[in-house]
Each structure stands twice: as C-alpha cells, then as structure tokens.
Amino acid sequence: MADEIIKEADAVEVQAPVVAEAEAPRPSERRVMPPRGPRPGAGGRNDRRPRSGRGGPRDAARSEFAQKLIGIRRVARVMAGGRRFNFSAAIVIGDKKGRVGVGLGKAADTQLAIEKATRAAKKAMISLVLTKNRSIPQDVAAKFCASEVIIRPSPGRGLVAGSSVRTVLELAGITDVTGKLLSRSHNQVNNARAAIEALRSISKQ
C-alpha cells in the first residue's frame, strides 16, 4: 500500500510541469504590441511637409497686382424695422507697369466689400502709354464731381503728389511727374477717380 502511494505521488510530480507547460502560450502565439509614439516617417506637428500652395487663379491675381485701400465707411439705410448698416470700400490696384484701376464695393461685411471693390477695379483697369523714364508724355487734367486734378511731367523730380492721386500714380508705376489738386475736395475716392480720368487720355485704345 505504501508503495502504491509513493508511485502516485511521483506521477503527480511528473505530470504537474507538463500541465503548466501546456497552459503557457507558445512563443509563436504571443502578440507583440508595437511601441507607442509617432510612426516612423510621420513626424510631429512641426515636422509636417510645407504646403506647395494652391496655385489657383486668386493667388496668381494677388501676386500680380498691388492694392491699397483708400477709403472704407459705414452706410446706414433706413427701413421699416429700423436702420440696416452696410460697408462701402474703395480700393486702388495696379501692377506698377502702366496698368491701374479704381473700384468701389458695398456689402454687409467689410471683407466682402473689399473683394467686390477689387473685382470692380480689375474690370475698370486702364493701360497707359509711358515714356522710357516711366513718365507721361504730356500734361493731363480732368474733373470728377467736385475733384479737379492736373498731372504734369517733371523730369528728375520723382513723384510729387498728394492725397489718393499719389496712390494711383504709385501703383501705375509712374515717376517724374507732379500732381496738383485744383479743388478743395478731401474725398479720397473722387480724387482717385479724377486721376484715373486724367490718365485715361494717355491710355492705350
């Protein structure tokens, strides 16, 4: 009887490690978890590739023309329910190579008003005939509403003008001229339009 008990104990001791090995997962069945962190080749927020740019027609237009805002104001319209406010923006654009235009836009938002003014200025652009020194060939003068301006060539003096007339001449790329406002009007939009009307006489037909 004692011999049988010893044999059973030996059998239990021998089978115990076998059961433990059977329950343990095999090396081939173990799941290897990837290390946490950014994937190889995918950097952090600051390691992103720089954008090459959209390259759309709007970006090309912005790079081609220089623009300057000469006036923005709030306009009120009285309606049945009260007053409704809009914004009016005037802008001058030019390529500084003989092309210039003035546009006016109105909208409920300032950004939308500026975009409308830019489109209007592009439609109303004129191309000028300039001399080799980027001056005008003759005296020009015009009147728009209450604004009256005269522009004369003055070799060696650079650009001498004030108000929005100077802005129009700068964006048109004109130099060695003298601009004079003959009226007392301080309306920037009318002064710019008077300068455009004066330069229209030397524009390309």
* Count of domains for the chain: 2
User: Is the per-residue pLDDT at 21 higher than 90?
Assistant: no
78 shares its domain with 105? yes
Would 188 be classed as within a structural domain?
yes
pLDDT digits (tens, 9 = 90+) for 84-134: 899 999 999 999 999 999 999 999 999 999 999 999 999 999 999 999 989
79 shares its domain with 96? yes
132 shares its domain with 119? no
State residue 113's pLDDT score. 94
Whichever domain contains 192, its CATH number is 3.30.230.10
Would 147 be classed as within a structural domain?
yes
Pick from 85, 104, 126: which residue ends a domain? 126
Its pTM stands at 0.66
Closest CA to 66 of 88, 97, 25: 97
Quote the domain boundaries for residue 93. Answer: 60-126
109 shares its domain with 143? no
State residue 20's pLDDT score. 46
Q: How far is CA 6 from the centre of its chain?
A: 93
DSSP-assigned letter for residue 158: -
